[in-house]
Amino acid sequence: MAPWQPLSAASRETFWRSLQTFTVTRIVITLVLLVYLTYDARRGHMAGAAYAETCIAYVAAALLFAAIAQRWRHRFLLQLSSQILVDIGAISLLYLAAGGARSGLGLLYLFPLAGAAILAPLVLALFSASLATLFMLAESTWRIFLSEDQAPLFQVGIMGAAFFAVVVVVSRLAARLIRQEELVAERGADLRVQQAVYRIVVDDVGDGILVVGRDGFVFSGNPAARRMLGLEADNDFKLADIAALEPVAQGFEAWLAAGAADAHVTIKRWQEQGGPVRGRLDQPVHLKLRFARVDTPIGAAERSVIFMQDVSAIENQAQQLKLASMGRLTASIAHEVRNPLSAIGHATSLLAEDLNGPAETRLLRIVGDNVARVNRMVEDILKLSRKVQPGGEPVHLKAFLEELKAEFTETHGLADNMVWIGDAGKRTVRFDGLHLREVLVNLLGNAIRYASGKPASIRLFPVLDATGRVELHVQDDGPGITAEVRAHLFEPFYTTSSKGTGLGLYLARELCLNNGAMLDYEYRVDGPAGFDAPGRFVITFSI
């Protein structure tokens, strides 16, 4: 393979490294020759002054070539040709000084010839083999003319043919290796380009991407994923190691076990600065998770990819669109709907005084119920348009919750032990009292519909989250909310009840936002005192 042909930078570097290896090998060979000379002299067999001077000069030349190849990376072919010619010349002198073919030093020619076959063009390598062969043949022929002992001319011819065979075979093998290296370098360049494109796409994409193992071990993630999860660095960790990421771990395990569809989860605030996984998430995020299995080779470790989409902005945008339409209807609803509703309700009351039959009474009750339902919807819509600023007085949770429990239990005719209040201690929160009462009444009203009615089947208990914020959990022992419903839980006008308006939970969340708090639903099973419930509503108060 001609080194002057167009080669990649990696292949050129390989040629220079090979040349340096060639020079180091030459130094080793010359030192071995000197050691052999010293050993032979101690045994009383003097090889002659020419042999010793040639060895010393050869060592000096080997050191000079090594220094030049190390410091001056120019004119590769010139350096290589000079070294090969010096090698052939030095070995020829040693060959003569040692007595010709019978000395066995003819095998030393294989060293420069192999180097020429590997690093030089085939023509130069064959030329070097020709020089060595012609010299050996000439030396044997000269001994025949001098009428010395029968020179091994046939042996020299065989050795010369072997030189040519070695040069051709080694040159072809070297050329094939160089082509393979060029192919690898080309494929490596293509792979680096693909990796660069992949990094640009993955790093700039808005969706988070996590590469995880079957056990939930996270191997890598893009910047969007770290931002969504609050991770400060791309550390290796398990999803289950961080309590706040447990919803992601549960969704991934459900997908592995049953091939579950996309999951909607909420990542709470969390903070960890001293552990192996450092991070901080200051605001809860709502994520839509999508899972995909990597097509790995047989026997390779299983890998999966979790795609995370932050749907908080999408949800807010959808709600704002609904509110924009609702705002245009608010004024007309107040006058065009409420007044006719009042007239219908008053007429129904008057008819009830004159009609006493069971059929008429049933029809009037149906009309009255639907009037009350429409009127309640109008009231909820009007409440959404009232962005009242929260009061500045702090709310003492213990006294507030106890008073709310007594009032709610009496109003709905519940047993005293059905609603359980956790110990709030001396915790206080900044929240408008009337707004907080309305939010909790809404959540407790939903809980009554699904709770079993057993003692402590509905629970309210405050806790502190990882960032020191007070959370109020509202939980019941009824069936959990399905994934399909959780995806639309706080959307306005979305309801699963034929008697509901679909504004209760949305209004509760809006009131929380108006007070600097956050209302969300967590699908988890870790309630207090072994309380078994698949989910809970969580109000996170501002600091």
Q: What are the distances in angstroms from CA 403 to CA 385, 407, 419?
A: 29, 6, 12
pLDDT in tens, 339-381: 777 778 778 777 777 766 777 777 777 777 777 767 766 776 6
Grade residue 2 by pLDDT with cuts at 50, 70 and 90: very low
Query: What is the C-alpha separation between 347 and 81, in angstroms, rounded?
Result: 116
pLDDT at 1: 44
Tokens of 47: 């090889």
Show me where the domains of the chain are located.
9-191, 206-310, 315-384, 394-540
Task: Tell me how crowded residue 279 is: count the other CB atoms within 10 A of its CB.
Answer: 20
Query: What is the C-alpha separation between 62 and 511, in angstroms, rounded?
Result: 88
Q: Which residues contact 84 (CB under 8 A, 6 or more apart)?
A: 112, 115, 116, 120, 124, 128
Mean pLDDT is highest, among 100-104, 164-168, 532-536, for 164-168
Task: Tell me how crowded residue 477 is: count the other CB atoms within 10 A of its CB.
Answer: 19
Query: What is the C-alpha separation between 333 and 139, in angstroms, rounded?
Result: 119
Whether 465 and 440 have beta carbons less than 8 Å apart is answered as no
Query: What is the C-alpha separation between 186 and 55, in angstroms, rounded?
Result: 44
pLDDT at 420 over 60: yes
Domain 394-540, second-level architecture: 2-Layer Sandwich (3.30)
Q: Which CATH class is domain 206-310?
A: alpha beta
Task: Tell me how crowded residue 462 is: count the other CB atoms within 10 A of its CB.
Answer: 20
Tokens of 483: 């994934």
Across the strands, what pairs with 180? none
Q: Residues 68, 71, 73, 74: is their CA dihedral positive or negative? A: negative
In the chain, the percentage of residues whose pLDDT exceeds 90 is: 0
pLDDT at 43: 44
Long-range contacts for 481-486 (Cβ within 8 Å, ≥24 apart)?
481/521, 481/523, 481/535, 483/260, 483/261, 483/263, 483/264, 486/264, 486/521, 486/523
H/E stretch holding 9: helix 9-42
Global model pTM greater than 0.75: no
| Pairing outcome for strands 458-464 and 419-421 | parallel
Degrees, nearest 5: CA angle 423-427-432:
115
Whether 540 and 517 have beta carbons less than 8 Å apart is answered as yes
Question: What are the backbone dihedrals phi and psi of residue 10, each rounded to the nearest 5 degrees, phi first?
Answer: -65, -40
Grade residue 449 by pLDDT with cuts at 50, 70 and 90: confident
